[in-house]
A and B are shown apart, each in its own frame.
Chain A
Amino acid sequence: MMNTVNNVKHLPHRYSNMPGRAAAGLLSVLIFLILLNVSSALAHGVSVFAWVQGDTVHTQSKFMGGKRPNQALIEVFDKTGNLLLKGKTDTQGLFSFQAPKISDMQIVLTAGMGHRAVWALSKEDFLETAVEPENQQQINAITSEKSIQSDLKTKIVDVSTENGLSAAEVTALVESILDRKLKPLMDRITALNENRISLSDILGGIGYIVGLVGLAAYMQYRGKRSDAEK
């Protein structure tokens, strides 16, 4: 190893920088390739996102960059870690299930080959959407907690008695319209939820490495100086 160091020192000056330049050239070619091909370059890792419609939970899984995991395993666990149910994603990376109970749940995606992602769904995600008549009692209990919501509820009841519609029917109607209106928004949130890799991430990482090199060079320099002073 010392031999190598000596060789470097005996080289003519114009050569001594060459490997550094070669390596820096390789690095810039790699960065250039990434910038050239950003969409597929960002393809890495996997994410899962879940939202509630009525009593159905929809999940969407994606590889970074947009490809969808097909036939990947989705497992749903409750708060205490018991397996509630499991299923497989379709070709679009989608999987939907009827919530067996309203509680906090963990949705775990295993896309094989060491890919795994988790989405936590909280109890609150269900509350606004549970509208089945048999859940009415539960809804009453929930809405009575919040005065605004109970106001709204009495209004709904008023309207419904005038038009001859039951409260449940009106709620179901509002639900379906809201679901339709919110769908694009949900899709957008799903897209935002993807962990995109930005240029600043790449440059930040390289910056860290440069900083570490600087640190090591500084330590080395200090060591040499204290040797020289002795």
Chain B
Amino acid sequence: MVFLIPELSKFFRIDMHISEGVLNAPVLISGAALAIAGTAIGLKQMDYDRVAHVGVLSAAFFVASLIHVNVGPSSAHLVLNGMLGLLLGWTAFPAILVALILQSIFFQFGGITTLGVNTILMALPAVICYYAFRKLIHRSPMLAMMGSFACGFVSVLLSALLLGLALVFTEKNFWSLSGLIVAANLPVMIIEGIITVFCVAFLKKVHPEMLNQEIS
């Protein structure tokens, strides 16, 4: 981590949203294609009786990006994609896409051309975490707690690595870049891990069915 030290001496801000005009066309196009595919699967699997849940989680994601966690010289924002993935599965794709469109219109986060890439950055880790941790949260309380913490933690970690991967075509060094992104997002990972633990514990108590979503 030595290579990070000169970088850490100055202020840096890391967002999960990539602005317009940063990425080249191949990255943008492949991002958009993957996002369309993910959204199509999500819409197909969406249970329309639970559309209100999707909307509320989409709104939570929409405002979470406004909350910045500042630690030392670094700053990163909440993502909540682990939570969305765990509760929505593939439906996290349309939920995140809608929130990102609104964020780019209202807050100028990201942009219309980078919409596809940004959707992949945040929704793909959500789906991966859904498959990785959905079983674990029904085990013994201890395992469930660890599983839900890991879900919140790993989803942000994967997003940070995907961000590094997307930017590697425009910035020089993948490892130092990704190290920087992960370092700035470390507090966010821990906070989201804790948020996910509390949400899962609460939902298990009051409405376990919400965590039982199976792919039909």
Q: Give A contacts to B, CB under 8 Å.
A: 1-5, 7-8, 11, 15, 18-20, 22-24, 26-27, 30-31, 33-34, 37, 40-46, 63, 67-71, 110-118, 195, 197, 201-202, 204-206, 208-210, 212-213, 216-217, 219-220
Chain B residues, Cβ within 8 Å of A11: 207, 209
| B214 x A3 contact (CB < 8 A) | yes
Residue from A19, A67, A205, A210 in contact with B11 in the complex, judged by beta carbons closer than 8 Å = A67
> Which residues of A sit under 8 angstroms from B11, Cβ to Cβ?
67-70
| Secondary structure class of chain A's binding surface, majority of residues | helix
Q: Which residues of B contact A41 (CB under 8 A)?
A: 66-68
Q: Smallest Cβ distance from A39 to chain B, in angstroms? A: 10
- For the complex, give the distance between the alpha carbons of A2 and B166 in Å: 38
Closest chain A CB from B48 CB (angstroms): 4
Choice from B12, B62, B66 contacting A113 with Cβ under 8 Å: B12
Q: Give CA–CA (A216, B99) in the complex, Å.
A: 16
- How far apart are the CA atoms of A111 and B11 in the complex, in Å? 11
List, in ascending order, chain A residues with CB within 8 A of B215's CB. 1
| Interface size class, chain B | 35 or more
Check A45/B108 contact, CB under 8 A, given A31-B63, A40-B70, A220-B48: yes
B39 at the interface (CB under 8 A from A): no
A114-B167 CB under 8 A given contacts A1-B215, A5-B47: yes
Cβ–Cβ contact A206 & B59, under 8 A: yes
A219 to B48, CA, bound (A): 9
* A43 and B213 contact, CB distance less than 8 A: no
Cβ-defined contact, B66 with A197, below 8 A: yes
What is the CA–CA distance of A116 and B212 in the complex, to the nearest angstrom?
Answer: 42
Q: Pick 6 A–B contacts, CB within 8 A, sort by A.
A: A1-B214, A44-B107, A45-B108, A113-B180, A204-B106, A219-B48
Q: In the complex, are the beta carbons of A209 and B171 less than 8 A apart? A: no
B20 in contact with A116 (CB, 8 Å):
yes
Report the minimal beta-carbon distance from A10 to chain B, rounded to whole angstroms: 10
> B25 within 8 Å of A by Cβ?
no
Tell me the complex Cα distance, A7–B171, Å.
50
Please tell me which stretch of B30-38, B127-135, B148-156, B198-206 contacts chain A, meaning at least 4 of its Cβ atoms lie within 8 angstroms of it: B198-206
Q: A63-B13, A114-B166, A205-B63 are in contact. List 10 more A-B contacts (CB 8 A).
A: A19-B207, A34-B63, A45-B15, A69-B11, A114-B167, A115-B19, A115-B22, A210-B55, A212-B98, A220-B49
One of B47, B55, B60 near A212 (C-beta < 8 A): B55
Q: Say whether B210 faces chain A, with CB atoms less than 8 Å apart.
A: yes
In B149-182, the 8 Å CB interface with A consists of: 163, 166-167, 171, 180-181
In the bound complex, CA of A31 to CA of B65 (Å): 11
CB < 8 Å: which of A5, A20, A118, A208 contacts B102? A208
User: Contact at B21–A116, with CB atoms within 8 Å?
Assistant: yes
Which B-chain residue is minimally distant from A38 (CB atoms)? Answer: B66
Q: Give A15's nearest chain B residue, CB to CB.
A: B207
Bound-state CA distance A205–B106 (Å) is 7
- Contact of A1 with B45 at beta-carbon distance under 8 Å, contacts A113-B167, A115-B19 already known: yes
Collect the chain A residues with CB atoms within 8 Å of residue B171's CB: 112-113
Please tell me which one of the listed residues B45, B55, B109, B216 contacts residue A209 in the complex, with CB atoms under 8 A apart. B55
Q: Chain B contacts of A24 at CB under 8 A?
A: 56
| Cβ < 8 Å to A, chain B residues 40-87 | 45, 47-60, 62-68, 70, 75, 77
Write out the residue numbers on chain A whose beta carbons fall within 8 Å of the beta carbon of B23.
Answer: 114
Q: Is the CB of B20 within 8 A of A43?
A: no
Say yes or no: A205 contacts B103, CB within 8 Å.
yes
A205 touching B102, Cβ below 8 Å: yes
The answer to whether A209 and B107 touch (CB under 8 A), given A1-B215, A22-B203, is no
Chain A neighbourhood of B62, CB < 8 A: 205-206, 209
Whether the pair B75, A43 counts as a contact (CB closer than 8 A) is yes
**Does B28 lie at the interface of the complex (its beta carbon under 8 Å from any beta carbon of A)?**
no
Q: Within 8 Å of chain A (Cβ to Cβ): is B18?
A: yes
- Chain B nearest Cβ from A165, distance in angstroms: 47
Q: How far is the CB of B101 from chain A (nearest CB, A)?
A: 9
* A167 and B66 alpha carbons, distance in the complex (Å): 54
Q: Note all chain A residues with C-beta closer than 8 A to B50.
A: 4-5, 8
- From A20, A23, A63, A209, B98 is in contact (CB under 8 Å) with A209
